Structure 1
């Protein structure tokens, strides 16, 4: 009996332990399910939040910004220039004939008075000989008439001849004197014409063209035909550079102002010059003022007739700031710039423009200097639009970051006459 009691007690204990283990298993399973469910919900919420952040980030426009630049440094105005020799002269013949010989070819350095060519002029030689014969005849006639007039004047004192006859002899002498003077002038004229057989250089320079050869017919144009250029001589140790300065800058370019030239083939080399003179008036057709810049070219680096870019250093004027030309918005209600607020939203600011220097434009009013101005703003940009500021590209980084940097005006065909300031 005692043994049966013990078995029954063990069975009851075992039956009690089994439900406890089962309950703990269920609890653990529920906890695992809840943890998995919470993890799924949390991951989905995180993905949704990340998606919302990405959508908000994508909805912001990426912009590059620059700060207004102080315009206390001089600004560089670049305009196309026409390089010409200081003296540039075509050499024509003054007499007709045939070219006997030439002594200078293209590229030859000649001195003033140096013989360039000789012209054979047989007709002029014959005319000169005939004129000299006429001169000798006139001299003989005048000598005889003067002797006769003197004799009749002496005889008139003793009343051996009449006053009328004496006056006739004196008048004949005066007529012979006029004929003699005419013959002398004719001989002198033909001698000068004959001297044109030799063609001389008018100044020190370089022969840039030779258009005749030995035996060529030389026509000075006296026979009605077109005169032919024999040589072309240029003095290139000093150059004149003519520039058409737009009306917007005409008042800022003055005589004795310094300038320098650059060439396309050697952009790093500067050739100093000085403004020699200005037209002091604006061409009513082109709205430009003609300016002459003289450049020393004794080393021969510059060639007459070349194209060059002329740089003028202009003062910044009264405008305190400058911005790149691609930072402005031209709206019906005026010129504006798009700035970025501290919370990265767009704020449109109205500005007044000063002088247009090509790649940079002076801002007369509207800016404080600490604004972040958007480069290349979209035409559709509006106030309050969210934006994201990105680092500027290398080609834009120098557009307005460095203070005191000289801006370079575009050397376009119109000479940048009004640029963006006049749009």
Structure 2
């Protein structure tokens, strides 16, 4: 082999080596880049991915929905004032009744006999008074002629005055029994509807509430009272005069208006609520006393109250908190207090503002300064 050929082969070998070295070097660089990319991806996947939202301030009002009970504006159990037997009844349940209208009549044989006796005693008292009057007039004339002493005349005058007092007592007794006789007619104290009749013809009637259940129940249903129990924290937001919307199961498509008329101004220790009374019109008779009602109150929302998803709430040994994310994607736990639990959402009274980025579903074990990766841009 000539010297020139040997030089050529050596150059070719060097070129092949250089190319091979370049290929190997390129492969190593690419592998290093791939390793770096894999490490970066793995590190990124190790950081928890979270979705965040801004708390919602909502509208200027909030709805408070409470169960209520409808009651007649006025209702009264009707008891007998005298003993006897039920002679007749004129109105049954569901009947409209006017004020003073008769509901039933009681046969009162005992009072009838007592009244007859009292009238007879009144007649005797009047006869005795008439005799005493004529006697005292005669004695007064005799006393003027000195035929009898003045003392005897005064004694007859006193006897006459005593007989007049007996007449008045007998008259009072007759009037009392006549009033008792008038109670034999059972009448309604006000206009309304008969909601119960617990007696029938021939029943033995005893006077007063100790004699058993009421003979009738009368209710004024032209207006209704609605009783609700308001949670303590909402009581200041429900002053007298607050309007409410009423709905009932039997008329699901209708809403009726009521107004807060009175408050107990006290919180029940067992339930933590205050009793309030609303009044509503029922002139059409569509609503039934004693029934259930759903009451909705539009209340002004307290300042600073925001709404977040219920899933954002963290409950641990330190109490209630939410996880927020700062500009560097680090977690900060903020303690909060809840105003109302709305089910899917929660109204937060303190601890948050509308500018906070709240994690909707905090990962387990999340703590302050934990690095996270935000996967949405809603906040």
Q: Deviations over 1:193-221 (max 9, x none)?
A: 11111111111111111111111111114
153 and 296 in structure 1: CA distance in 2 versus 1, 3 angstrom threshold: same
Determine the structure 2 residue equivalent to 1:245.
Answer: 230
Give TM-score scaled by structure 1 length: 0.71
Matching of residue 112 in structure 1 with residue 99 in structure 2: yes
Q: How many residues align?
A: 346
Contact 1:92 1:220 in 2 (8 A): yes
Matching of residue 258 in structure 1 with residue 243 in structure 2: yes
Determine the structure 2 residue equivalent to 1:16.
Answer: none
Contact 2:50 2:361 in 1 (8 A): no
Aligned mate of 2:199, from 206, 212, 222: 212
Determine the structure 1 residue equivalent to 2:268.
Answer: 283
Determine the structure 1 residue equivalent to 2:125.
Answer: 138
Indicate the RMSD between aligned Cα atoms, in angstroms: 3.4
Determine the structure 1 residue equivalent to 2:89.
Answer: 102
Determine the structure 2 residue equivalent to 1:292.
Answer: 277
Q: Deviations over 1:340-387 (max 9, x none)?
A: 5678x56234144364365542433432x1344334546633353646
Matching of residue 185 in structure 1 with residue 153 in structure 2: no
Unaligned runs of 5+ in 1: 1-37, 393-400, 402-423
178 and 160 in structure 1: CA distance in 2 versus 1, 3 angstrom threshold: same
Separation (CA, whole Å) in 2 of partners of 1:80 and 1:194:
47
Separation (CA, whole Å) in 1 of partners of 2:63 and 2:323:
26
Determine the structure 2 residue equivalent to 1:348.
Answer: 332
322 and 160 in structure 1: CA distance in 2 versus 1, 3 angstrom threshold: farther
Separation (CA, whole Å) in 2 of partners of 1:108 and 1:326:
55
**Higher mean Cα deviation, 277-286 or 193-202?**
277-286
Contact 2:331 2:372 in 1 (8 A): no
Matching of residue 76 in structure 1 with residue 60 in structure 2: no
Aligned mate of 2:349, from 363, 374, 379: 363
Matching of residue 374 in structure 1 with residue 359 in structure 2: yes
173 and 235 in structure 1: CA distance in 2 versus 1, 3 angstrom threshold: same
156 and 108 in structure 1: CA distance in 2 versus 1, 3 angstrom threshold: same
385 and 81 in structure 1: CA distance in 2 versus 1, 3 angstrom threshold: farther
387 and 200 in structure 1: CA distance in 2 versus 1, 3 angstrom threshold: farther
More strand by share: 2
Separation (CA, whole Å) in 1 of partners of 2:127 and 2:314:
95
Determine the structure 1 residue equivalent to 2:219.
Answer: 234
Give TM-score scaled by structure 2 length: 0.79
Contact 2:325 2:359 in 1 (8 A): yes
181 and 387 in structure 1: CA distance in 2 versus 1, 3 angstrom threshold: farther
311 and 376 in structure 1: CA distance in 2 versus 1, 3 angstrom threshold: farther
Separation (CA, whole Å) in 2 of partners of 1:341 and 1:190:
90
Separation (CA, whole Å) in 1 of partners of 2:251 and 2:311:
28
58 and 247 in structure 1: CA distance in 2 versus 1, 3 angstrom threshold: same
Matching of residue 330 in structure 1 with residue 327 in structure 2: no
Determine the structure 1 residue equivalent to 2:155.
Answer: 168
Contact 1:75 1:357 in 2 (8 A): no
Separation (CA, whole Å) in 1 of partners of 2:287 and 2:201:
32
Contact 2:74 2:219 in 1 (8 A): yes
155 and 390 in structure 1: CA distance in 2 versus 1, 3 angstrom threshold: farther
